[in-house]
């Protein structure tokens, strides 16, 4: 489904797991912010999903205040991950840094490593919400639906045993949905980094999980409070035979 007011909205249903099952359609969705949904967008979503939809908003406090969810019947839960890259980049520019594009890429990779290290409580809460839904629609979003959303959805897909290569392929679909914006704040080469996703960004998070937490299974169980029993229940709720 293509939405006029949320171009990076998509369903992860249909992705195949390592044992041949697939994620059911209309159960796990991802998007950018929902503040600019058109009336026809909301009508189309409710025809498809109904009105019992849980929205997980990963945006920081200021972001949420500026752009309030326009879907009146959705139930919104805030799990705020504050943005960090722009603030660090502004400081480097103020200090005379000129190698902006590679520095921005480094800052993005570091942000993903920190998602893995610092989002454990929010990950546990995300899985709580997902399990409580019992297969009813759950939508995860941040501002653009690419970085914070990309990491959190990658963890959901990992818990469902979607192969890592397929997770990265889904993550990269953002580049087909989003156009790089012009900015008065940053030059074009910086916006090319900030406005897109790259495999090495998400791979930086996975590398942190592998080297600092003992791999995805250990990370989900110990760091994100997803026991094997809860993980099996989540799979039962969200997966269907192909």
Q: Which pLDDT belongs to residue 16?
A: 98
- Give all domains of the chain, ordered by start, each with its CATH number: 10-240 (3.90.190.10)
3-class DSSP state for residue 209?
helix
The span from the CA of 54 to the CA of 57, in Å, is 10
pTM for this one? 0.96
Nearest to 74 by CA among 118, 122, 41, 107: 41
pLDDT of residue 96: 84
CA 171 – CA 153 distance, rounded (Å) = 9
Return the pLDDT at 99.
Answer: 87
For 203, phi and psi rounded to 5 degrees?
Answer: -65, -30
Task: Report the pLDDT value the prediction gives residue 115, as an integer from 0 to 100.
Answer: 97
**pLDDT at position 97:** 81
pLDDT at 1: 87
Buried b / exposed e across 69-80, counting CB within 10 Å, b at 16+? bbbeebebeebe
Provide the pLDDT for residue 86.
87
Q: What average pLDDT values come out for the chain (242 residues) when binned by 10 residues?
A: 95 98 98 98 97 97 95 97 91 86 95 96 97 98 97 98 98 95 91 96 98 97 94 98 88
> What's the pLDDT at 122?
96
What is residue 102's predicted lDDT score, i.e. its pLDDT? 94
């Amino acid at each position: 489904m293509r939405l006029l007011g949320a171009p990076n909205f998509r369903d992860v249903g249909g992705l195949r797991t390592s044992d041949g099952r697939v994620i059911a359609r209309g159960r796990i969705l991802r998007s950018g912010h929902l503040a600019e949904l058109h009336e026809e967008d909301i009508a189309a979503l409710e025809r498809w999903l109904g009105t019992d939809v849980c929205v997980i908003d990963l945006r920081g406090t200021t972001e949420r205040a500026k752009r309030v969810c326009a879907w009146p019947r959705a139930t919104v839960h805030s799990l705020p991950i504050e943005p960090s890259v722009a603030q660090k980049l502004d400081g480097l520019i103020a200090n005379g840094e000129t190698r902006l594009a590679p520095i921005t890429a480094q800052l993005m990779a570091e942000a993903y490593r920190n998602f893995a290290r610092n989002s454990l409580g929010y990950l546990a809460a995300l899985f709580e919400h997902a399990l409580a839904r019992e297969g009813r629609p759950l939508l995860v979003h941040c501002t653009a639906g690419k970085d914070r959303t990309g990491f959190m959805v990658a963890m959901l897909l990992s818990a469902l045993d979607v192969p890592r290569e397929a997770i990265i392929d889904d993550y990269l679909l953002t580049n087909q949905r989003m156009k790089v914006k012009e900015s008065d704040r940053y030059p074009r080469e910086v916006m090319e980094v900030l406005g897109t996703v790259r495999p090495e960004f998400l791979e930086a998070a996975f590398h942190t999980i592998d080297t600092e937490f003992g791999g995805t299974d250990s990370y989900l169980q110990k760091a994100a409070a997803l026991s094997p029993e809860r993980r099996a229940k989540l799979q039962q709720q969200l997966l269907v035979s192909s």
